[in-house]
Amino acid sequence: MLRALVIFITQLLLWVLLAQANHVLAPWHTYLFAGGLFVTFAALRLPLLDGCAAAMLGGLLCDATAPVPFGTHTLLFAAVFAIVFNVRDRLPREEAIVRVMVALVANLALFLALSFLRIGDSPAPAAAWGRLFFDLLCSQVAIALAGPWFFALQGRALDLARTEPVTLD
């Protein structure tokens, strides 16, 4: 479980950076969501138990400050983790561009799932979709730019923690 803890610490750093970025973007009513980054590395590189634990810890972290029922992010992150984990053997997962593409698809799925779950609470659901799609576009650009850095950080953190090498069977 050391690998899950190390990945969780990097997720904590990402969570803090996202909170700061969203604070800066708040005057423009823009919100960045990077749920795909919380799941992708764990699903592509870690064994099942370590990866699932890391993804679910990241979900709990996101649940802590989100205006959703507690456990929503956790369940969605676990579901996306399971899907990516099951298709990872078909992907060249050691390539950075593949990791970024998986993170973008995972983020799209998570963002849309959360949007559909919460859109009913909006006073004008039809009017909210334009704002949501703009936020999704900004989030996807942020993931494309920050993804390679974050995945390198996670890999290096595992190296520094001297965990046993993760084999890409």
Flag whether 114 is in a domain.
Answer: yes
Tokens of 54: 């890391």
Q: Is residue 34 assigned to a domain?
A: yes
Residue in 59, 49, 71 with CA at minimum distance from that of residue 14: 59
Range of the domain at 41: 2-160
Residue 84: the pLDDT is 95
Q: Is residue 167 part of a domain?
A: no
| Among candidate residues 96, 106, 107, the one with its CA nearest the CA of residue 150 | 96
Could you tell me if residue 169 is inside a domain?
A: no
DSSP of 53-71: HHHHHHHHHHHHHSSS-TT
Is there a domain that residue 37 lies in?
yes
The per-residue pLDDT for 120 is 72
Residue 78 included in any domain:
yes
Within a domain: 87: yes
Contact 62, 38 (CB under 8 A): yes
Q: How confident is the model at residue 147 (pLDDT cuts 50, 70, 90)?
A: very high
Q: How confident is the model at residue 167 (pLDDT cuts 50, 70, 90)?
A: low
Between CA 43 and CA 87 the distance in angstroms is 9
User: Do 51 and 39 form a contact (C-beta atoms < 8 A)?
Assistant: no
User: Is the pTM higher than 0.85?
Assistant: yes
* Mean pLDDT (whole number) for 23-40: 94
Q: In percent, how much of the chain has pLDDT > 90? A: 72
State the virtual CA torsion across 19, 27, 73, 131 in degrees, nearest 10: -150
pLDDT in tens, 32-80: 999 999 999 999 999 999 999 999 999 999 998 888 888 899 999 999 9
Residue 134 has pLDDT above 80, yes or no: yes
Domain count, the chain: 1
Which region among 30-34, 86-90, 165-169 has the lowest average model confidence (pLDDT)? 165-169
**pLDDT confidence band for 165 (50 / 70 / 90):** low
Q: What is the structure's pLDDT at 166?
A: 57
Please tell me the distance from the alpha carbon of residue 81 to that of residue 75, in angstroms, as a whole number.
10
Indicate whether 19 belongs to any domain.
Answer: yes
The stretches of 66-124 forming alpha helices (DSSP H) are: 72-87, 96-118
End-to-end CA separation in angstroms for the chain? 20
